[in-house]
Amino acid sequence: MIKNRVVDIVQPDVSYVGGIERAMRVAKMAQEAGLPCTPHAANMSLVTVFTAHMLAAIENAGKYLEFSIEVEDYYPWQRGIYTDYPTVRDGKYHLTEKPGWGVEINPEWLAKSAYKVSVLD
């Protein structure tokens, strides 16, 4: 798609493409082709946090961070997920200076969560 210029904007999803490292590879391919990269991020999970950090780290970042506007009844599991969350002010997402990804998962939310393990056969 990139090589044949089928797209004007490249939108890897950190969750679907196999993580940050693979998403960064896709962004690099887009950069080499002169295309902007505006990754897909669908909800308030860590995927949006990861995507914001990725955008801050690439040279060909598109103008936008896809930011979920769905109300809590659409994604009820995300209610109370963080103790705090980077803010959106004046239409811009602001990364924090906090260590790591800059967010803290709410311990109460985590205690109520289901724990599942995926296994390849």
CATH number of the CATH domain containing 54: 3.20.20.120
Higher pLDDT, 83 or 88: 83
Instruction: Give percent of the chain with pLDDT exceeding 90.
Output: 47
Residues 85-105, mean pLDDT to the nearest whole number: 85
**Is 35 inside any structural domain?**
yes
Q: 76: which DSSP letter?
A: G
Q: 3: which DSSP letter?
A: T
Domain count, the chain: 1
| Phi, psi dihedrals of residue 61, rounded to the nearest 5° | -60, 135
Residues 103-110, mean pLDDT to the nearest whole number: 92
pLDDT at 88: 81
Structural domain including 49 reads 14-112
pLDDT at 52: 92
**Sequence-separated (6 or more) residues with CB below 8 Å from residue 35:** 2, 7, 8, 9, 10, 60
**C-alpha dihedral, 56 to 32 to 66 to 113, nearest 10°:** -70
